[in-house]
Amino acid sequence: MKNSKKIIIVEDDPDINNLIAYNLRKASFNVEQVFDGLSAEQKLSNEYFDIVILDIMLPGIDGFDICRNLKENPFNGRNFIIMISAKSSQKDQLYAHILGADAYLTKPFSVAALMDIVKEVNQMQSQDFVVTHK
Amino acid sequence: MFFLKSLKFKLLFSYLLVILFSFSLATFFLNKRLEANSLHELKNSLTSQALLIESRLSSVNLSQANAAGLETLVKELTPRIKARITIIDMAGNVLAESERPFSDTLKMENHAQRPEVKEALNGVTGENIRYSSTLKMKMLYLAIPIKLANAITGVVRLAMPLDSVERMLFGVRKIIYLNMFFASILVFVLGFIFTSGIVNPLNKIIYLSRKFSVGDFNHRIYHPAKDEIGELADTLNKMAQSLEEKISEVKLKSQQLEAVFQSMIEGIIVVDKQSRIISMNPSIKSIFDIRSDSSFGKPVIEIIRNNELAEIVKSVLNSGQAVSRELTLLWPVEKVFQVNAAPVIEKGTCSACLLVIHDISEIRKLENMRRDFVANVSHELKTPLTSIKGFVETLLEGALEDKENSRNFLKIVQDHANRLDNLISDLLKLSYLESKGALLKKQDVDLSKLTKEVLVGFTSQIRNKNIEVENSLPEALIAQADADKIEQVLINLIDNAIKFNKERGLVKVYSQDMGDKIKIIVEDSGVGILPRDISRIFERFYRVDKARSRSLGGTGLGLSIVKHIIELHAGNTGVESTEGLGSAFWFTLPK
């Protein structure tokens, strides 16, 4: 079956970016890859993605800022934001949550866990995100 | 006028007064008593003489008719009686007179009204002192009645001039006055000497006490006499001694405090109740870059324009409670300070505020660096681990069958495992260098030879990139260093010079003689470094181009290791670079 959800991967490490992209594409998702904060901002302000997989430590604009901007000025609807970061402290996770991130995975994360979240989101309607993840 | 108020004058004057008063009193009473005594004597003698004459006259006929007879008798008595004799009858007529010739006697006026005669006629002894117009002098008159069988028949009067008494009294007075004069002179001289003995040491004491009062303790009062003044002098000397000791003690203490104040690294400001600066130490001037000395007396807010600081001062001055706070200043300097403000309590009230300002920017910076380093290490370790874990998971989940990608994935896993290996080994090197346990095995190191050996290790990389290497180090370039560590430095620098170079680029290694040091320069013709990156290039995990560095297998710790090793050798590191043309990293080592 062809999955209709559009996913963007914002991750500066090319290997990790490619890794996620490979797995998502294998699950038949429509995947877009960006490698820095600025390109991510541009892309996200012009196009709607159902799921945003977002690294925090990015060159240019960091993941927290992208998350905040996206929640404040969403382009044509709410995005489901999955943060992936080497930052593992409670403080960072809470901060991400306050900014509106819907899920938080700490590196090194399990690809299976990421895929589970993506697949779950795929089952839902966009507006249900809030209900499920709050 | 001062002389009249002085102790000397008062003492002398009182002595004189005592002399004058006692002499006057003596003169007065002596005069009176002598006069009375002489008169009494005179009267007694006159009375007895008068009685003698009376006894001769009692049987004589006292009448004017017998005047001639009486005259003869009187003349006869006169040489024996040293007084003027007058014989008067009951009617008051003078019958005989010793001092007048007989011819005048009967012509003399009636004596009945003379006081002494009047009394004698009444039957008692009469006496009177008066001025005699006859003899022109003061006379004592004494008259007694002449009795015959208890009937008064006449009066015999004796008169004697009083000038002998007067003369005697005058003589006595003269002696007294003379004595008084000499006594006064003596009193004046002795008094002067004696009062000088009191007043002069007192003046000296006053003079020296004035010196003491202005802090001059170089002199002592000399007064060996064991009297009250001597005691006063001793007490004053002791007081001066203890004052001098106390003052020098206080001076020493304040000097010590001043030295502490001047040399403390912490900035200190003392402000008064109106928040005006009373004093501050050199540290505070260097912290806030205060150049002028005119800041004294100005409100603290004018010198350090920070509201929070001004509020701290205000709250301490108002409440009298010490305040300790961390303060972040952006102006006039961008720094973090620990401010301790304590009140200066004087007589129960807060009279000033002492501010101790400790610059903790460096401590904070180090703390931040450490925190950043930990965060960086964790990030740097987790990133390759994520790839390894992710790709292995993906391979196991079926990608192994994906012939197209599986080999590539394994290659990525291998790369990241290597990266982790490099990273961990660099971290260990750095940690070892930082632990200070790193003892240098210093020896003569031939830098030229060492560089050649290092370059041999890079042969394949040099060939792959067609790099031209120009090693112009002179033969036997000896430095005092740890060979293994300097080899690491050369490896890191040459590795960078090749990695960040362009194809067919140039790597130059050369030296400069810096006197007691050798400067080694590793120059490349690579991309160069932007000025904003130059200051941070030696920081741990600082990478100008993260992606590029990682793709080249860099850990971000190479230059940091270089810097540490060179610092252990008491050398310096640095870089000069022009963007697009290349960079020249250098380090110095002691010869």
pLDDT in tens, B13-53: 888 899 889 888 988 898 889 888 888 888 888 888 888 88
Q: Residue B25 is encoded by which pair of tokens? A: 């009193």
pLDDT at residue A131, as a whole number: 41
Q: What is the ipTM of this complex?
A: 0.88
Cα distance from A21 to chain B (closest Cα, Å)? 11
Residues in A touching B391 (Cβ below 8 Å): 15, 19
Q: How confident is the model at residue B332 (pLDDT cuts 50, 70, 90)?
A: low
| Cβ–Cβ below 8 Å for B397 and A86 | no
B65, B131: one domain: yes
pLDDT at residue A118, as a whole number: 92
User: Structural domain tally of chain A?
Assistant: 1
Cβ atoms B519, B587 nearer than 8 A: yes
pLDDT at residue B208, as a whole number: 87
* Residue B187 maps to a domain: no
B268, B340: one domain: yes
pLDDT at residue B12, as a whole number: 85
Quick one: which of B95, B81, B90 has its CA closest to B159?
Answer: B81
B353, B370: one domain: no
pLDDT at residue A125, as a whole number: 56
Report whether pLDDT(A134) > 50.
Answer: no
B146, B26: one domain: yes
pLDDT in tens, B488-536: 999 999 999 999 899 999 999 999 998 889 999 999 998 888 888 888 8
pLDDT in tens, B467-495: 999 999 998 889 999 999 999 999 999 99
Quick one: which of B204, B229, B201, B195 has its CA closest to B8?
Answer: B195
- Rounded to an integer, the average pLDDT of B337-360 is 89
Q: How confident is the model at residue B120 (pLDDT cuts 50, 70, 90)?
A: confident
Count how many Cα atoms sit within 13 Å of the Cα of residue B120 in the half-sphere of its side chain: 35
Quick one: which of A18, A5, A9 has its CA closest to A54?
Answer: A9
Report whether pLDDT(A104) > 50.
Answer: yes
Determine the residue of chain A that is closest to B378 in CA distance.
A86
B536, B459: one domain: yes
Instruction: Give CB contacts under 8 A, 24+ apart, made by B134-142.
Output: B134/B99, B135/B84, B135/B99, B135/B159, B135/B161, B137/B161, B137/B162, B137/B163, B138/B162, B138/B163, B138/B166, B140/B39, B140/B42, B140/B43, B140/B46, B141/B114, B141/B116, B142/B43, B142/B46, B142/B47, B142/B50, B142/B116
Cα distance from B501 to chain A (closest Cα, Å)? 23
**Using CA of residue B64, residue B65, residue B66, residue B70, what is the dihedral sign?**
positive
Q: How far apart, in Å, do the first and last CA atoms of chain A sit? A: 30
Q: Residue B401 is encoded by which pair of tokens? A: 């069958």
Cα distance from B456 to chain A (closest Cα, Å)? 32
The C-alpha atoms of residue B193 and residue B210 are separated, in whole angstroms, by 26
Report whether pLDDT(A126) > 70.
Answer: no
The C-alpha atoms of residue B501 and residue B479 are separated, in whole angstroms, by 28
Residue of B377 and A53 predicted with greater confidence: A53
* Residue A134 maps to a domain: no
The C-alpha atoms of residue B540 and residue B563 are separated, in whole angstroms, by 10
b/e A88-121 (16+ beta carbons within 10 angstroms → b): eeeebbebbeebebbbbbbbbbebeebbebbeeb
Q: How confident is the model at residue B1 (pLDDT cuts 50, 70, 90)?
A: low
CATH number for the domain that contains residue B555: 3.30.565.10
pLDDT in tens, B389-427: 999 999 998 888 888 889 999 999 999 999 899 999 999
Q: Residue B291 is encoded by which pair of tokens? A: 């150049």
Quick one: which of B453, B445, B585 has its CA closest to B509?
Answer: B585
Helix, strand, coil % in chain B, rounded to nearest 5: 55, 20, 25
B457, B581: one domain: yes
B320, B416: one domain: no
| Cβ–Cβ below 8 Å for A111 and B412 | no
| Cβ–Cβ below 8 Å for B389 and A110 | yes
Cβ atoms A8, A53 nearer than 8 A: yes
- Map tokens 């009444």 to a residue: B122
Q: Pairing between strand B478-482 and B506-513? A: unpaired
The C-alpha atoms of residue A120 and residue B385 are separated, in whole angstroms, by 26
B148, B252: one domain: no
| Cβ–Cβ below 8 Å for A88 and B378 | yes
Helix, strand, or coil here: B407?
A: helix
| Cβ–Cβ below 8 Å for B393 and A110 | yes
B395, B405: one domain: yes
B18, B127: one domain: yes
* Residue B200 maps to a domain: no
Residue of B51 and A76 predicted with greater confidence: B51
| Cβ–Cβ below 8 Å for B386 and A86 | yes
* Residue A109 maps to a domain: yes
* Residue B331 maps to a domain: yes
Residues in A touching B550 (Cβ below 8 Å): 13
B296, B408: one domain: no
pLDDT at residue B93, as a whole number: 85
- Spell out the alpha helix ranges (H) of B500-579: 531-534, 546-551, 558-568
Residue of B133 and B565 predicted with greater confidence: B565
Q: How far apart, in Å, do the first and last CA atoms of chain B sit? A: 90
pLDDT at residue B467, as a whole number: 92
CATH number for the domain that contains residue B379: 1.10.287.130
pLDDT at residue B407, as a whole number: 92
Cα A115 to its chain centre, rounded Å, is 12
- Rounded to an integer, the average pLDDT of A32-58 is 91
The C-alpha atoms of residue B470 and residue B159 are separated, in whole angstroms, by 164
Report whether pLDDT(A127) > 60.
Answer: no
Cβ atoms B73, B97 nearer than 8 A: no
Quick one: which of B555, B561, B560, B558 has its CA closest to B383?
Answer: B555
Report whether pLDDT(A5) > 50.
Answer: yes
Helix, strand, coil % in chain A, rounded to nearest 5: 50, 20, 35
Q: Which of B372, B376, B377, B383 to mutate to test the interface with A (most CBs of A within 10 A)?
A: B383
pTM over 0.80: no
Q: How confident is the model at residue B2 (pLDDT cuts 50, 70, 90)?
A: low
Domain span at residue A116 reads 6-129
Q: Which of B393, B411, B543, B544 to mutate to test the interface with A (most CBs of A within 10 A)?
A: B393
- Rounded to an integer, the average pLDDT of B433-458 is 87
Residue of B321 and B553 predicted with greater confidence: B321
* Residue B204 maps to a domain: no
B228, B259: one domain: yes
- Rounded to an integer, the average pLDDT of B86-107 is 81
Q: How confident is the model at residue A2 (pLDDT cuts 50, 70, 90)?
A: low
* Residue B496 maps to a domain: yes
| Cβ–Cβ below 8 Å for A111 and B394 | yes
The C-alpha atoms of residue B355 and residue B304 are separated, in whole angstroms, by 12
Residues in A touching B379 (Cβ below 8 Å): 57, 86-87
CATH number for the domain that contains residue A85: 3.40.50.2300
Residue among A15, A86, A112 minimizing CB distance to B416: A15
| Cβ–Cβ below 8 Å for B375 and A87 | yes
- From residue A57, give the alpha-carbon distance in Å to each of A53, A65, A92, A107, B13: 13, 11, 12, 12, 108
Report whether pLDDT(B55) > 80.
Answer: yes
Report whether pLDDT(B324) > 70.
Answer: yes
CATH number for the domain that contains residue B295: 3.30.450.20
Report whether pLDDT(A112) > 60.
Answer: yes
Report whether pLDDT(B548) > 80.
Answer: no
Residues in B touching A86 (Cβ below 8 Å): 378-379, 382-383, 386
* Residue A76 maps to a domain: yes
Mean pLDDT of chain B: 86
User: Structural domain tally of chain B?
Assistant: 5
B36 forms bridges with which residues in the sheet?
none
- Spell out the alpha helix ranges (H) of A100-128: 111-123
Residues in B touching A107 (Cβ below 8 Å): 382-383, 385-386
Domain span at residue B229 reads 221-263
* Residue A24 maps to a domain: yes
| Cβ–Cβ below 8 Å for A22 and B394 | yes
Quick one: which of B108, B129, B100 has its CA closest to B39?
Answer: B129
